[in-house]
Amino acid sequence: MQNTAIAIILDEHRSLAAVLHGLRHLVREMREHGRPPDFRLLGAMLYYLDAFSEKLHNPKESLYLFARLKQRCSEADEVVAELEKQHQESSQLGRDLDHALARLEAGVPDGLELFSAAVERLLPEAWQHMATEEKVLLPLARKHLTEGDWAEIAAAFGENGDPRFGAKPDHEFRDLFSRIVNLAPPPIGVGPER
């Protein structure tokens, strides 16, 4: 179960990273090549980051992985505290990003600059956060969590997830991710060139 749980978490990180990379690419295209903003695509990406990362991935990590690891080893206290703080901060960064997109869509003159700044603030935080989870937290978890803990984590992150987070969320997010890939132009996705 350990490998199953870890594979799901790494896979979720890869999906999030793909959307973040795509977002940065689109912003650079808009700033450097004057590409007009595709609000449908940008909206879908921001919705994905909020609904998948903020409302599902992060809370599951906190509730299952971090909480269990804190019970099993005090060595993890410091890194768990740091990651929990980053989960809180990333909610604010997400709200800033939504706000900046609304300004861009409203045609505020500095809208693109503000949106671009919000994206550039979020990205390094997100990379660093995922890297700390993968390089520091997961190795500690591998060492200290029990087979029962891993079964519980795998179930929470698995297909039917935790009912507290809604019915069949994984299907919905896979569909949403495919929609983003279908809307996004190459090299991010397979959508139409614009």
Binding interface with Fe ion (CB under 5 A)? 58, 61, 133
Q: What angle do CA 146, 70, 155 make, to 5 degrees?
A: 50
Nearest to Fe ion of 102, 131 (CB atom): 131
CB of 105 to Fe ion, least distance (A): 29
Q: Which is nearer to Fe ion, 82 or 110 (CB)?
A: 82
Nearer to Fe ion, 79 or 112 (CB): 79
Burial (CB < 10 A; 0-12, 13-18, 19+), residue 109, is exposed
Distance in Å, CB of 1 to Fe ion, minimum: 18
Closer residue to Fe ion in complex, CB, 61/152: 61
DSSP code at position 74: G
**Cβ(183)–Cβ(40) under 8 Å?**
yes
Query: How many other CB atoms are there within 10 angstroms of residue 68's CB atom?
Result: 19
Minimum distance of Fe ion from residue 167's CB (angstroms): 22
Minimum CB separation of residue 111 from Fe ion in Å reads: 29
- 187 burial type by CB count under 10 A (0-12 exposed, 13-18 middle, 19+ buried): exposed
80 CB neighbour count, 10 Å cutoff: 21
